[in-house]
Amino acid sequence: MAIKYGRPIELREVSRRDGTAASPALDLTIRPRRNRKAEWARRMVRENVLTTDDLIWPLFLIDGDNKREQIASMPGVERLSVDQAVRDAERAMKLTIPCLALFPYTDPSLRDEDGSEATNPDNLVCQAVRAIKKEFPEIGILCDVALDPFTSHGHDGLISDGKILNDETVAVLVRQALVQAEAGCDIIAPSDMMDGRVAAIREGLDRTGLLDVQIMAYAAKYASAFYGPFRDAIGSAKTLTGDKRTYQMDSANTDEALREVELDISEGADMVMVKPGMPYLDVVRRVKDTFAMPTFAYQVSGEYAMIAAAANNGWLDGERAMMESLLAFKRAGADGVLSYFAPKVAEKLRAQG
């Protein structure tokens, strides 16, 4: 008996209608709505669930004390001084969010052509890692590896004659990863898209004895318009010269994403990421099905901003759109999501019990 989508095909042709019935009722054997008739029934057949374990919460850092600064293009998201980041870490702990991701707004006076502040063991990110780990050693901390928060030109790598240098950049990224790992960060997440950086970072960590530090590779990261608000948040929007298309991926490609992911896995990535999220759910699904690795997606700043802005205008139900957008990642096969909605989602999940 031929089976398609779980039912014998022959059954579809069976009709109990005798042709004379005057009843307005359709003579349907199969009524998919039966399984949706009540909340308990919908819960019973539900295929995917979102839990707080699926969340990674990105925080923006800024120098100072007791400071929380609104980011205009990301309503509800703030830049935090280190002491306030510790308070948000406490909130994350209480909400059972497993991991934070840290991004610095670097003071313009500390930015230079080579992004040298990235390798300062006492930079804002390293200070925050130490402060959070001191109070809450049980929470996971992920640190981004790339030079863009630190360079005067806003690019992720070193530049010479307008070209982003690959191998020279990788050498700096290894040093950046090492200062972060030595500060106590648990997961190193290279977001720069240079070739060979995962292998070089793994080698550097292992040589230093940091064998347990994980690598989550931004393996398939696209040159995307959806990063706009993030660049406001870290202060690189105005300074960025040109675009990132010579290192970030072309939005038209998915086979290339598989090759990028395969390389990062072979170089030692423990987890892989696709970024942005919602516009690239097809890539998440292909990556998960092909490699069966822990696979993450980044619901990036522009995705957050779209939902937040529409909600603030009363154009859509913000909470429902938020929950629906996150469940979509689970459906696509993601094991977790970096999302600026993380604390709100966790609160909502807790309220639902």
Binding site for ligand PBG (CB under 6 A): 144, 146, 148, 156, 191-192, 227, 230-231, 244, 300-301
Contacts (Cβ under 8 Å, ≥6 apart) of 37: none
* Cα gap 118→141, rounded to integer Å: 17
Contacts (Cβ under 8 Å, ≥6 apart) of 34: 41
The SS3 of residue 50 is coil
Question: Do 145 and 192 contact (CB within 8 A), yes or no?
Answer: yes
Question: Which of 146, 159 has the CB closer to ligand PBG?
Answer: 146
Question: Which of 186, 232 has the CB closer to ligand PBG?
Answer: 232
Catalytic residue among 221, 244, 288, 330: 221
With CB under 5 to 8 Å by kind, the binding choice for 260 among ligand PBG, Mg ion, none is Mg ion
Q: What angle do CA 11, 14, 18 make, to 5 degrees?
A: 160
**Where is the binding site, in residues?**
260
Question: Which of 136, 306 has the CB closer to ligand PBG?
Answer: 306
User: Which of 114, 192, 260, 303 forms a contact with Mg ion (CB under 5 A)?
Assistant: 260
Q: Among residue numbers 120 through 149, which ones bind Mg ion (CB under 5 A)?
A: none
Question: Would residue 221 show up in a list of annotated catalytic residues for this protein?
Answer: yes
**Closest by CA position to 217, among listed 268, 276, 174:** 268
Question: Which of 156, 260 has the CB closer to ligand PBG?
Answer: 156
Catalytic residue among 134, 238, 244, 275: 275
Contacts (Cβ under 8 Å, ≥6 apart) of 276: 222, 224, 226, 227, 298, 299, 300, 302, 303
* Cα gap 192→74, rounded to integer Å: 23
Residue 114 engages Mg ion in binding (rule: CB under 5 A): no
Q: From the CB of 263, what's the least distance to ligand PBG, in Å?
A: 18
Q: Which range, of 41-49, 72-80, 254-262, 325-333, touches Mg ion by CB under 5 A?
A: 254-262
Q: Which range, of 105-113, 207-215, 252-260, 342-350, touches Mg ion by CB under 5 A?
A: 252-260
Q: From the CB of 33, what's the least distance to ligand PBG, in Å?
A: 39
Question: Do 347 and 308 contact (CB within 8 A), yes or no?
Answer: no
Q: From the CB of 144, what's the least distance to ligand PBG, in Å?
A: 5
Torsion on CA atoms 64, 65, 70, 71, rounded to nearest 10: 30
Closest residue to bound ligand PBG by CB: 230
With CB under 5 to 8 Å by kind, the binding choice for 189 among ligand PBG, Mg ion, none is none
Question: Which residue stretches of the chain are H helix?
Answer: 9-13, 39-45, 82-94, 124-135, 166-183, 197-207, 228-233, 255-266, 281-291, 301-312, 318-331, 342-352
Contacts (Cβ under 8 Å, ≥6 apart) of 253: none
With CB under 5 to 8 Å by kind, the binding choice for 269 among ligand PBG, Mg ion, none is none
**Where is the binding site for Mg(2+), in residues?**
260
Question: Which of 12, 245 has the CB closer to ligand PBG?
Answer: 245
Instruction: Please identify every residue annotated as catalytic.
Output: 221, 275
